[in-house]
Amino acid sequence: MQTNPTPPAYTSLVAVGDSFTEGMSDLLPDGSYRGWADLLAARMAARTPGFRYANLAVRGKLIQQIVDEQVPLAAAMRPDVITLVGGLNDTLRPKCDMVRVRDLLTEAVERLTPNCERLVLMRSPGRQGPVLDRFRPRMEELFACVDELAAKHDAVVVDLYGAPSLGDPRLWDVDRLHLTHEGHRR
């Protein structure tokens, strides 16, 4: 008889990225944001006494800034789990060097992987519409890089880009770039 193994009890999580990870548009009464990373950390903390969590993500950050400012801090913390979401802000700029974005994302993964038990990468969600359609080829190139890096470094990929549930317009803020509270929760 085969039994399902008990999932590991991770004791720490560090989230690295931009506004998507910061929790933009999931505003709390005190003016701070709570997004998917904070909700994930709360669930993990409920299973593990003494759980440690840091959300280093800051809105607007480009991949170079994430690599320079957040990756060294996350690596130094040596948490059990690191989530990395980055590069999408770069792809949305009129002039974007995708080779550079891929190189920087690769650098981030290579610096983070040896400093955690589990690296989690994400294919960020993308709404349908004319603005994002213009940048979709770059987004898809970024997500192909995410998939390649995950395969090479045994990282987990969370594919929100292909998640049908995020097609519901009620899960998106008026800017159509950030998730609402319900979007982050899902």
Strands (E), 27-177: 52-55, 81-84, 118-123, 156-159
pLDDT in tens, 110-156: 999 999 999 999 887 665 555 567 778 888 899 999 999 999 999 99
Domain topology for 19-185? Rossmann fold (3.40.50)
pTM reported for the whole predicted model = 0.86
Is pLDDT at 99 greater than 70 in this prediction?
yes
CB atoms within 10 A of CB 130: 6
Report pLDDT for 129: 54
Is 149 within 8 Å of 155 (Cβ atoms)? yes
Is 96 within 8 Å of 90 (Cβ atoms)? yes
Residue with tokens 């770069």: 90
* Helix axes of 98-112 and 130-153: crossing angle, nearest 10 degrees: 40
As a whole number, mean pLDDT of residues 12-20 equals: 92
**CA–CA distance, 92 with 81 (Å, rounded to integer):** 28
Which one, of 74, 83, 80, 72, lies nearest residue 45 by Cα? 80
pLDDT in tens, 43-91: 999 999 999 999 999 988 999 999 999 999 999 999 999 999 999 889 8
Q: What is the DSSP secondary structure assignment for residue 120, as one 8-state letter?
A: E
Report pLDDT for 156: 94
